[in-house]
A and B are shown apart, each in its own frame.
Chain A
Amino acid sequence: MPKITFTEPGGGRRDIDAPLGITLMEAARQHGIQGVVAQCGGACVCSTCHVYIHPSWLAKLEPREEMEEGTLENAWEPRDNSRLSCQIPVTAELDGLEVAVPQRQREE
């Protein structure tokens, strides 16, 4: 199972085993990673599973689709390495992936 390292909003690091075939968001949620709120549960409509991907890993991910672009636009502090974790399937290639959770998710 790929190991993924999350840096939580408080700065704590957690390594989790993410099963293949689920999404990065689902893996984070199942393990209760702090700050991955995932309110809509993966429908790509809420932006509360927003994460920052470690730049060295960006090229290994499929690029964002239009829906994700639109939803990310109003995320809290989006950056070039921002992704919605619900749109990233866990694959064997992601073993060792490093992800940081933003200080907060969007609040209007």
Chain B
Amino acid sequence: MISTILIIGGGQAGAQAIDTLRREGFGGRLVLIGDEPELPYQRPPLSKKYLSGEMPADRLVFRHRSFYDEHRIELKLGRQAVRLDAAARQVELADGEKLTYDRLLLCLGAESRRLTCPGAALPGVHYLRALADVAPIQAGFKPQARVVIIGGGYIGLETAATCRKMGCEVTVLEMADRVMNRVVAPSVSQYFAGEHRAHGVTIICDTRVVCLEGRERVEHVVCADGTRHAADLVIVGVGAVATAELARAAGLACDNGIVVDEYCRTSDAAIYAAGDCTNHPSLRFGRRVRLESVDNAFEQAKTAALNLLDKPVAHDRVPWFWSDQFDSKLLIVGLSQDHDRQVLRGDPASRSFSVCYLKGRELLAVEAVNHSKDYMAARKLIAERALMHLDKLADGELALKEAV
């Protein structure tokens, strides 16, 4: 009988797992261990409305404390799990407390990839992942403060937009030949680079940072071609890596994340994992993936919770992502990697368009810019493995769901 379930990680996945476990009738001891001191909260606004000060911290939390009391959730927040003994089914916290479990759910998340070049540890160099990362960045917001952002991905660009709105002078340095090159089509990169430039952000591509310089704190970001960018504040957004050390040290199979099957089971029968930290099979796309997204954390946590209660259900979802930059919204659904054809719908100059990715006639992914109708329709079409009518598809006036 399962009488104690421990969850490590109080992010989106951990919070969702609690919800599903209790709603599905788990009445035993339920403990949430999280190394951050705050009640579980949502991360997406950290680079946007929370960073700009428009949204206070109490709007970030998923649930009030009373919810956890009411549902008898033991919260161990601000407490770090430092050791997992899978044979003894025991977790040890940094302060020495040991907790035993019948089932363990790892929702460890991901952590920012660190810059390793000389000067990377200088004061004034920031990462943005957790709530506590925000205040030190905000402290540097002064009119005309020079902010250099290393990395033109989601985090870099969202942060660039917010810093610009706060009156800073913003420069984005990107190693590839275009922003968001790993996640979107060239036309979408071009659109967003254009938006940023129109708002006064300087975007420099094809550039590689070699060192950061400064006496007391960072003063310059130096690139391989010798260019020096004066900086009052540096924000690094160069990707993230799965947080998996606890699992790896315990002997669980890990390979770019904690390896799980479609039921969120790790290589240990009593341990499950969900969210950014997992390397899991995508049934729709027939390969293993590691995804950093709210949607995946949410859905896998739900799946894991059901399986923890011996209600077998496979994680079989089409992933989706979004990004808000200035007043534009990027919506992505599906995985485009295996495509052999791209079809543009609508005119980027109209500020509302989408790019469809197909393999043959099968729709694999859609990137929609300010176009929620195409995006919502695509979620259904991709899940159904719909075959599209190519001529109709290219007609942006025709609803996507009619282009089959």
- Interface residues, chain A, with chain B CB atoms under 8 Å away: 22, 26, 29-32, 34, 39-47, 67, 70-71, 73-74, 108
CA distance A46 to B229 in the complex (A): 39
Q: Out of B44, B45, B375, B380, name the residue touching A108 (CB < 8 Å).
A: B380
What would 8 more interface pairs be, CB under 8 Å, given A32-B19, A39-B294? A29-B62, A30-B61, A30-B67, A32-B63, A39-B298, A45-B329, A45-B375, A47-B376
Chain A: CB-nearest residue to B380: A108
Chain B residues positioned under 8 Å from A67 (CB to CB) = 329, 370, 372
Chain B residues positioned under 8 Å from A45 (CB to CB) = 320, 322, 329, 331, 372, 375
Q: Give chain A nearest CB distance to B315 CB in angstroms.
A: 14
Contact A31 B380 (CB under 8 A): no
Which residues of chain B from 12 to 35 have any CB-CB distance to chain A below 8 Å in the complex? 19, 23
Q: Give chain A nearest CB distance to B261 CB in angstroms.
A: 22
Chain A: CB-nearest residue to B42: A41
Chain A residues positioned under 8 Å from B295 (CB to CB) = 39-40, 46
Chain A residues positioned under 8 Å from B42 (CB to CB) = 41
Contact A43 B44 (CB under 8 A): yes
* Selected A-B contacts with CB under 8 Å, 25 pairs: A22-B59, A26-B59, A29-B62, A29-B63, A30-B61, A30-B64, A31-B64, A32-B67, A39-B295, A40-B294, A41-B45, A42-B45, A45-B322, A45-B331, A45-B372, A70-B371, A70-B372, A70-B373, A70-B376, A74-B377, A74-B380, A108-B318, A108-B379, A108-B380, A108-B383
CA distance A41 to B372 in the complex (A): 16
Chain B binding surface, main DSSP class: helix
Q: Mark B67-108, 1 if CB is under 8 A from A, else 0.
A: 100110000000000000000000000000000000000000
Chain A residues positioned under 8 Å from B329 (CB to CB) = 43-45, 67
Chain A residues positioned under 8 Å from B320 (CB to CB) = 45
Chain B: CB-nearest residue to A43: B322
Is B324 engaged at the interface, CB distance under 8 Å to the other chain? yes
Which residues of chain B from 301 to 346 have any CB-CB distance to chain A below 8 Å in the complex? 318, 320, 322, 324, 329, 331
Total number of residue pairs linking A and B with CB closer than 8 Å:
65
Chain B residues positioned under 8 Å from A43 (CB to CB) = 44, 322, 324, 329
Chain B residues positioned under 8 Å from A73 (CB to CB) = 372-373, 376
Chain A residues positioned under 8 Å from B62 (CB to CB) = 29-30
Q: Give chain A nearest CB distance to B328 CB in angstroms.
A: 11
CA distance A41 to B11 in the complex (A): 13
CA distance A53 to B367 in the complex (A): 32
Chain A binding surface, main DSSP class: loop
Chain B residues positioned under 8 Å from A70 (CB to CB) = 371-373, 375-376
Contact A31 B372 (CB under 8 A): no
CA distance A83 to B230 in the complex (A): 47
CA distance A44 to B59 in the complex (A): 16
In order of increasing CB-CB distance, the 5 nearest A-B pairs are A70-B372, A74-B376, A41-B42, A70-B373, A108-B383
CA distance A44 to B384 in the complex (A): 23
Q: Give chain B nearest CB distance to A13 CB in angstroms.
A: 17
Contact A74 B294 (CB under 8 A): no
Chain B residues positioned under 8 Å from A29 (CB to CB) = 62-63
Chain B residues positioned under 8 Å from A41 (CB to CB) = 42, 44-45, 294
Chain A: CB-nearest residue to B352: A66
CA distance A40 to B71 in the complex (A): 23
CA distance A42 to B379 in the complex (A): 19
Contact A31 B324 (CB under 8 A): no
CA distance A26 to B322 in the complex (A): 19
CA distance A70 to B42 in the complex (A): 24
Chain A residues positioned under 8 Å from B380 (CB to CB) = 74, 108
Which residues of chain B from 30 to 62 have any CB-CB distance to chain A below 8 Å in the complex? 42, 44-45, 59, 61-62
Chain B: CB-nearest residue to A29: B62
CA distance A40 to B45 in the complex (A): 10
Q: Give chain B nearest CB distance to A19 CB in angstroms.
A: 9
Chain B residues positioned under 8 Å from A108 (CB to CB) = 318, 379-380, 383-384
Chain A residues positioned under 8 Å from B377 (CB to CB) = 74
CA distance A29 to B64 in the complex (A): 9
Chain B: CB-nearest residue to A68: B372
Chain B residues positioned under 8 Å from A46 (CB to CB) = 295
CA distance A31 to B65 in the complex (A): 9
